[in-house]
Amino acid sequence: MSTEMSHGDSSTQYPLTITNCGREITFEKAPERVLILNGTSVAEVETFIALGLEGHILANSQSYGQSDIDGMVEKIAALPTGGLTLNENFEVPKEQTLALNPDLVISTWAGGFTEAMGSVTRDELDSLGINSYVTPVNCAYGAENPSAEDQAVYDSQTYEASFQLLEEIATIFDVQHEAEHFLEHAREDIAAVTKPTGDPVHVLVAYPGMSMMNTSGVPMVFAGPLSDSIIDAAGGVNSFDGVGSFAESANINAEALAAADVDVLVVGLFMPGENADDYAAQIFAQYPQWDAAKNNRYTSIAETFYLGPYNAVGIQKIADAITAVG
């Protein structure tokens, strides 16, 4: 008889049945041969590392050029890759997935299980008795016909989605104690942030190395509910607080940047070797009218501004820069 998942339980009782993106998945035991698809994310692989689950990874295809966590780039690089070669969509091809014979395949987004990406589908995996899992907040992302509920969850996500992912993975693998310990410290760190009491401090988060994602070729500005929630927790206000979604961030052009209120610039780092000091100097030279440029106020951030277990670290980095404004 299957057991519904409860985060309040001290241990997982198998078989465990969960609902993921409208699908019921049953685990007879903790998965032992996990394939983590790419999806240009490190949320899932860093969740495994945070929970001490590296030994369950058969092959990982996620990576990132820089990290706000000491040693994280090296930890990810040390994980088995299964000899995977990503296709033109930067995803694991169907044939390679099937050849590995995993017992669980994880994708950060629903689109990672589509034929359009050259990937194996969830139906195909089901037919072979292989479980599949999509990070819950992203069930609508890349889905052909997402439910209204999944779309609403995706559209309104905050950093709490990072913690929900960690809790659910912990339950699947019966490591709830590790999750509770991790989250206790993360929430304490966020709660300890001292927020300014004066005028709002406007924070702009821009990734110059991702300018190809912006329709105007300017540094990719991060806005939308997830970005706003991290900046808010740090005590600031997103310079583009009115942007409704991350997708709309791609339409922010040079004129909008020139008119923005920016008290603190957060330089996003993406590729190995990128230098925040150089990027900040270049951006400030383009927008000298910003208060951030006049006072040379900036900090850097890497992956802790995305979905993932270490948002508390990113929040603290931004909070430190905001504190310096006062």
pLDDT of residue 215: 53
Tokens describing residue 14: 């198998």
pTM score over 0.85:
yes
What pLDDT, in 10s, does the model give residues 239-286? 999 887 777 887 888 899 999 999 999 999 989 999 999 999 999 999
Closest C-alpha to 135, from 154, 156, 116: 154
Cβ burial of 19 (10 Å; 0-12, 13-18, 19+) is: exposed
Q: How far, in Å, CA of 173 to CA of 166, rounded? A: 11
pLDDT of residue 11: 92
Architecture of domain 195-325: 3-Layer(aba) Sandwich (3.40)
CATH T-level assignment (fold) for domain 3-190: Rossmann fold (3.40.50)
pLDDT of residue 244: 75
pLDDT under 50: residue ranges of the chain: 1-9
Answer for the pair 92, 118: CB distance below 8 angstroms, yes or no. Answer: no
User: What number of CA atoms fall less than 13 Å from residue 16's CA on the CB side?
Assistant: 22
* Domain ranges across the chain: 3-190, 195-325
Q: How far, in Å, CA of 154 to CA of 158, rounded? A: 9
What share of residues in the chain are helix, strand, coil (percent, to 5)? 40, 15, 45
The angle, 0 to 180 degrees and rounded to 10, between the axes of the packed helices 176-191 and 311-325 is 10
pLDDT of residue 217: 57
CATH topology match: 3-190 vs 195-325: yes
What pLDDT, in 10s, does the model give residues 5-17? 444 447 999 999 9
